[in-house]
Every structure is written in C-alpha cells, then in structure tokens.
Amino acid sequence: MLQSGLQYRVRIRAENCEGYSVWSHVAAATTAATVPASPIGLTVIGVSRTSASLTWQPPVSDGGSPVIGYQVQLQPKTKVAAAELGSDWMIIFDGEAVATTFSALQAGCQYLVRVAARNTAGQGQFCIPLQLTTAPDAPMQPPLPEGEPAATVSCKVELRKTAALSVLFMQHQTPDLCKCQV
C-alpha cells in the first residue's frame, strides 16, 4: 500500500514466453497528501474557576504533508455554561502551538474539549473529546433571617490555676467564637 504524500520511483519491464524486456527508464511520482490523523494525548494541565490550559501531541501520521496548525473546540455541558456560551461546539484556539490556555469559562461547570490537526490537504478528524470541570466558586455567606434580633450571650466561669476557655455558639447560622475573660 502506498503512503500519502511520498515520492515513489518506478521502472517496469515486460515478460513473456521469450523472456524479459529491457527495464524502462525510472519514472517518479508523488502520491497526493491526505488530511492528518487526530492529535494524541490531549491533556488538561491546569484548571481554575474561569480558565483551563490544555496540551496535546502531533498526530502519528501527518498525511504526507507537515501539520501547519491545530483547531481546539469547546462545548459546554452544564446548563449554566450553555446559557452563557451556547450549546454548540465553538472554536477557542486556531494556531500552530500544541498547547493553549483559554478563559471566560463559568465556575463549577463541565465542558468537553477536542483538537484536530490541519495540513495543506485540509483538517483531519477531531480526537476523542476530553471532559474538564472548572473549579467551583466559594459559597456566598447566607443572608441573615429577616425579623430576628441578634443574640447576646454572656458567660461567667471560675477557673483555678492555668486554663483556657472557648465557647462556640451559633448566631443566625454563622459560627462565631466567644472568648470569655477569666
């Protein structure tokens, strides 16, 4: 089987019951290049609340023409992310590098990413998508319940010798530490 994008040199001769002919002159022909195979080793190397960094390796086969670029696509998988970015695949990188960092992601959301290689014959197929999840946001402090007054706590403790005392109490579902004076 011939490989794409390679030059082959051939010569021929005929054979019949009388014997063999003289070899022909050498002829050279180059097979047409095809699109490259999918890149390999797509890996998330860093993720935060709103960004992610990816890296990958060139495809095993370049289709007979050097790889000239890569396209990385992202697809939101959670409702919050899809509401912000849409649910279709979108291009987030198109260039020569084998790594990229992108932002504008939503905290605590899941996404799929994939990458394809391109040469002079066109773009090859995307690799198998990789799932990534951004880091969650820190939870917000819950609001104070309406209509409830703040609690006042006092304490009196007698201690002998050296001792420390801490009292933990709940005030509107927010833990506070009360240190009583000795």
Residue-by-residue DSSP string for 112-159: EEEEEEEETTEE-PPPPPEEEEPPPPPPPPPPPPTT-PPP--------
Asked if the model's pLDDT at residue 163 lies above 80, the reply is no
**Which of 30-34, 42-46, 176-180 is the most confident on average?**
42-46
Tokens 């019951």, residue located: 17
Q: Render pLDDT for 108-157 as a digit per residue (tens, 0 to 9).
A: 999 999 999 999 999 999 999 999 999 998 777 777 677 655 555 566 66
- Phi and psi for 84 in degrees, rounded to 5? -85, -40
| 161 confidence band (pLDDT: 50, 70, 90) | low
Going from the C-alpha of 164 to that of each of 98, 103, 108, 180, the distances in angstroms are 59, 49, 41, 9
- Dist CA 135 CA 129 (whole Å): 19
Query: Higher pLDDT residue, 115 or 177?
Result: 115
- Phi and psi for 115 in degrees, rounded to 5? -140, 145
Asked if the model's pLDDT at residue 57 lies above 80, the reply is yes
pLDDT of 174 reads: 45
pLDDT of 116 reads: 98
| 173 confidence band (pLDDT: 50, 70, 90) | very low
Instruction: Extract the tokens encoding 93.
Output: 């990188």
| 180 confidence band (pLDDT: 50, 70, 90) | very low
Q: Which residues of 69-99 are buried (b: 16+ CB within 10 A; e: fewer)?
A: ebbbbbbbeeeebbeebeeeeeebbeeeebe
pLDDT of 125 reads: 98
Query: Higher pLDDT residue, 31 or 89?
Result: 89
Q: How many CB atoms neighbour CB 156 within 10 A? A: 6
Per-residue DSSP letter, 180 = -
Asked if the model's pLDDT at residue 26 lies above 60, the reply is yes
- Dist CA 8 CA 120 (whole Å): 20
Tokens 């104070």, residue located: 144
Three-state DSSP class for 28? strand
Per the DSSP assignment, residues forming a β-bridge with 167 are: 178
